[in-house]
Amino acid sequence: MTSPRRSPYKGVLILACGIVLAALLAMHSLVPTTRGLALIVDSMLPWSWVLIALLLLIALFRLSLLSIAGVLIPVVVWASMFWPYLQPAGDPGGADLTVATQNVGARLPQPSATALSLVEQQPDIVTIQEFESLSGQIIQDQMSSHYEHSQVKGSVGVWSSWPMSAAEEVDLGLPWIRAFATTISTDHGDVRFYAVHLPSVRPGQESLRNAALSTLARQVSADPAERVIVAGDFNSASTDRYFSRLTDDLTDSRAEVGGGFGFSWPSRLPLTRLDHSLSRGIDPVADEVLDRGTSDHRAVLVSYDF
């Protein structure tokens, strides 16, 4: 009695799905921006492993060379895109400089606890965004009681262990102040520090943020300073196509040191990373996302070596 002949087409649907998924990953920049589709796709790219896992599960029931190929193709593309994040986390031991950044949100509950949780990490430089109303004033007072030097413009502030030059507003094309630059005289040399809070973004409403990203990228690129750090809430995922306008000239700390994707928003169940510390002329050696506090953003702590 002869055994049933195996179909040569078994697994072809899985192969087709895998090719489509791999193409979406590799060519996501071609996804149209209509109705915020590109924003959603770009921001969720790291989570595409869930689709690959689902494809693998189906392939186990349709096991064949074609189904195996259908899983391996998107796996290879995904890994080639995100392998820098998958490296073991960097070690902050002996770092020359530590920077903390957090969007604390307007009308934050328990503002003192939030400020003290940042101070407890003993960063050399702290930038905070969106401190407003009474809670914002409490945070300012707490931070200023622990740091000798500070600069505040609008709802963005910087506190430092070292002296700072006067804050210089960075014009992002907005009617309100959302960014400024200062030169911090550290024990290891001057660092040009940009504290930023880019406009909020919603699907289909990205134009203000996109324009601000482009403007900021041009200004930082034109800055002659040898060492530059740009930190804050960019309202942009690391995988957003417009964010690359900054990372073409600056190093993304998380992509450089690894340890995972470092999602920071929303704080209860982080799905994406909106808070970044980017640099030029100074090397990130560690990047840590702190535990959930009372803000809707988690704080990011980055260590640098000169």
d(CA 66, CA 270): 35
- pLDDT exceeds cutoff 60 at 231: yes
d(CA 297, CA 15): 39
Q: Which of the pair, 92 or 54, is modelled with greater confidence?
A: 54
pLDDT for residue 1? 47
DSSP one-letter code for 36: G
Q: Kindly report, residue by residue over 170-204, the tens digit of the pLDDT.
A: 999 888 889 999 999 999 999 999 999 999 888 88
The residues near 299 (Cβ < 8 Å, ≥ 6 apart) are 100, 101, 102, 117, 118, 121, 264, 275, 289, 290, 293
Give the residue-averaged pLDDT of 143-158. 94
Mean pLDDT of the chain: 92
Half-sphere exposure of 82 (CA within 13 A, CB side): 20
d(CA 83, CA 306): 25
Q: Please, which pLDDT band fits residue 132 given cuts at 50, 70 and 90?
A: confident
Q: Please, which pLDDT band fits residue 8 given cuts at 50, 70 and 90?
A: low
pLDDT for residue 186? 96
> Which segment of 35-39, 65-69, 105-109 scores lowest on mean pLDDT?
105-109
pLDDT for residue 89? 86
Q: Kindly report, residue by residue over 89-128, the tens digit of the pLDDT.
A: 878 878 899 999 999 987 778 888 888 999 999 999 999 9
